[in-house]
Structure 1
């Protein structure tokens, strides 16, 4: 309907919103009022919007007087520039997502520099626990009870930690996943080497630009058999 009064109390967004609000005052002798709130800065914002409105009106007049062919040419150029910028952004995102292969990564003990495992030996449980599936890894660590480290969820639980059997440096925790014992590594306790270069500090797995495969239960049927035999 046609409003006689349009009052905005301390509400200012952009010039489009301002013009829309003013347009609601369509009745004869109607008024548009902005009420300032101390310290809100709405007056300053409204002045900026008024300036933008003036610039927009000038641009509309200029475009209206522009030669049709020149107008089409400028629009085409702007569209091509926008497409090119979009392609560049997508390429940058794609490059960021290109992860190193697990085969290019290796891990050693932070305490004695003993080789621990390679990236190819690691799979991920529940998108967070990096477990070692290599059978050779078993001869490198000791399991110790740790009552302070105890996490019990629907699919797994942890109540032991894994430590280097040479120097005693902790490597991670032992987790029980679907009745299978799996050593889960904490990368902060290891020295990471990627493409031949050592990474001095790596506190979390997400800081490592490597995409490890998800743990495949069916591919490790022998571990399931061992768990059943031990019962």
Structure 2
């Protein structure tokens, strides 16, 4: 069965590791695309500022031309030039503020997306680990059951082997005791025969002594 097997757990761990490595890469690509879009928007807004600057330069040139013909127009040209410079500075400041605001908004959105993505990934990983724990519980019970059966069988085999070895040892002891008893009995029989032989020799010796004694008495009689 694939579910609950070692291969399943190995594939699950590899998938989680790949997600942890691939997710930041995907988010970095998304951030790069959004940054490129912001740069394009900035490039599209900059030409407007360049047009205003060109118009201001033309106005300055026109004012300079008018200055050569009419000195009274100097004040008007100076005021227009200051107004143009102020307008350019205002446009540049507005563009800078818009760019900073856009970057801040995009950074905030990206951070929120990253936080949401990591939160979702953490939830999914936690659910997977919870499911893994639920799968491990019956697997552990099953493993305990198998180990208990194996140990019980091994215990039976060990008891049987010990009983057989004890019976064999008892048989060897009985055989050895029987053999030793037979040898001792044979030695006792041999010893008894030797005693009987000695008794016969002693009887014969006594008879000879009695005969000699009787012979001596008869020879000394008057």
* TM-score band, normalised by shorter chain: under 0.3
Higher relative contact order (CA 8 A, sep 6+): 2
Query: Which protein shows a greater Rg?
Result: 2
Alignment TM-score, normalising by the size of structure 2 = 0.23
More strand by share: 1
